[in-house]
Structure 1
């Protein structure tokens, strides 16, 4: 089955950002929220009329976002150096800012598992300079992947050995966790790949970590998975569609460097694309993965 549609074209929905990142779709309200990190704001695109408004500013240089099973926005904050959640009344709650007494680096991307646990990456991009956060030394001294337990009482490292862990996503059945490493930004010949990890039977720990695919056009940053297990990955020339075995199936070419994507729309068959200064979208012949039944 072709995953794209021959008579469908890429649409530009908005422009004027400095670095678009972290799209998250709110089905009940038919709108999407995303980050414009250097401008320290979150924007909101409304599907009902195509309008764009400021969702929050200042926004503590938020990066990646996810929506939990209760419809709340979970955010990675560069300047806040934390994972926060926007409650139903609009208030902001910090879920985690320290691990073993040390401040996080600058959480980058986040996913929520069906059991309510929150998984996120913590590279140093937000503390490397004052452009996307506040320049500061790393207190942890490493860049890792963490898990927050469903009740929020336990935060622990679930994967390390990265240079700069970045985007992450679960397979549709949540048996695998994919994690991008964009370490080529910090090391000559550094990683520009996606690794895949096996989830344990308790759904709380990982094993493996082999490289699934390497990016030959820029870097794999953020990505999302469709219902058939294909990975839709940001890259320097657009969005790469990668099969579960790592085979590159094709590309959606975009005229700007892509940072992240998410599925949305009434049928979850519309891919929203955050690319440098702009927000794009394209309809696909597939749907975004949803949580497994629990």
Structure 2
């Protein structure tokens, strides 16, 4: 293991992990001062990263051209997960407003979904956009359990589920109802498979702490079982590179999995990691949100777009 910041470094568990890094690369801490950072999303046109600081009710902006960090939006409705759609627009999960929104190019905000069958969502957590333009999101209750990351409130849904809104909008459709606390989600690079983390162990002794995979089969999903189980804390948010490797948050840093499910290695981070996104001009810079800080590391593989 090596690294320039105390507590950081690289832990190879499979020889294939070495192919992902240049020998002299190191983890960088770009900014600190948040309370629970989440939802990194990279905007290529502007060369900046947007990320959420949930308890502080704000979204932050890291400028890749000069390294500065500033407030992007405050208040943010305790925003959590963010992504960028294929038209370069910001899509956001808002705990406090219990909805999913899209920020248009002119800055106006469109509500994508805020209810299912007339009842409010729990607290949309993370979001992914499929190549066909549909928007998929998870809805655990973390944002309404206390006042820390949203507003304490009663659940209106009958559990924690995954939803889809079609490319042309319309009502949300429940697509997965078999998970305890669905959390992060992302599509394989070819869009054929949806991966979803389940953090049910956070509120259920012996509960799940894994990532499941679901094959898209026409209008439905085929559950293909557990892809990986977390060996340190919980999986939260994650992304894919173009070769199909899955890079995921964990309690001790970032874990990298081969498409065959092998844990290739870890990037050690001295704070609990919540999420990550690929960015930079070549999409070879991995941005990592942790408890209080934003980190990054350059990698060899390119991230799958969008982020």
TM-score, normalisation: structure 1: 0.97
Task: Specify the alignment match of 1:216 in structure 2.
Answer: 231
Task: Specify the alignment match of 1:262 in structure 2.
Answer: 277
Aligned with residue 113 of structure 1, among 130, 133, 149: 130
Does structure 1 residue 284 correspond to structure 2 residue 299?
yes
CA distance in structure 1 between the partners assigned to 2:22 and 2:234 by the alignment: 26
TM-score, normalisation: structure 2: 0.93
Deviation per CA, 1:106-133: give whole Å up to 9, x if none.
Answer: 0000011111100000001001110000
Task: Specify the alignment match of 2:162 in structure 1.
Answer: 145
Q: For structure 1, which runs of at least 5 residues remain unmatched after alignment?
A: none
TM-fit CA distance, 1:290 = 2.8
CA distance in structure 1 between the partners assigned to 2:112 and 2:194 by the alignment: 22
TM-fit CA distance, 1:283 = 0.2
TM-fit CA distance, 1:205 = 2.3
CA distance in structure 2 between the partners assigned to 1:152 and 1:170 by the alignment: 19
Does structure 1 residue 35 correspond to structure 2 residue 59?
no
Aligned with residue 249 of structure 1, among 264, 268, 291: 264
Which structure 2 residues correspond to residues 126-205 of structure 1 after superposition, within 5 A? 126-200=143-217, 202=218, 204-205=219-220
CA distance in structure 2 between the partners assigned to 1:267 and 1:67 by the alignment: 16
CA distance in structure 2 between the partners assigned to 1:25 and 1:71 by the alignment: 9
CA distance in structure 2 between the partners assigned to 1:252 and 1:221 by the alignment: 15
TM-fit CA distance, 1:70 = 1.4
Structure 2 contact 62–69 (Cα < 8 Å) conserved: yes
Q: For structure 2, which runs of at least 5 residues remain unmatched after alignment?
A: 1-15
How large is the RMSD of aligned CA atoms in angstroms? 0.9
TM-fit CA distance, 1:88 = 1.0
Does structure 1 residue 273 correspond to structure 2 residue 277?
no
TM-fit CA distance, 1:71 = 1.0
CA distance in structure 2 between the partners assigned to 1:225 and 1:52 by the alignment: 25
Moved over 6 A (4+): none
Deviation per CA, 1:146-187: give whole Å up to 9, x if none.
Answer: 000000013101111111100000111111110000011110
Structure 2 contact 113–171 (Cα < 8 Å) conserved: no
Which structure 2 residues correspond to residues 11-30 of structure 1 after superposition, within 5 A? 11-30=28-47
Aligned with residue 76 of structure 2, among 40, 59, 79: 59
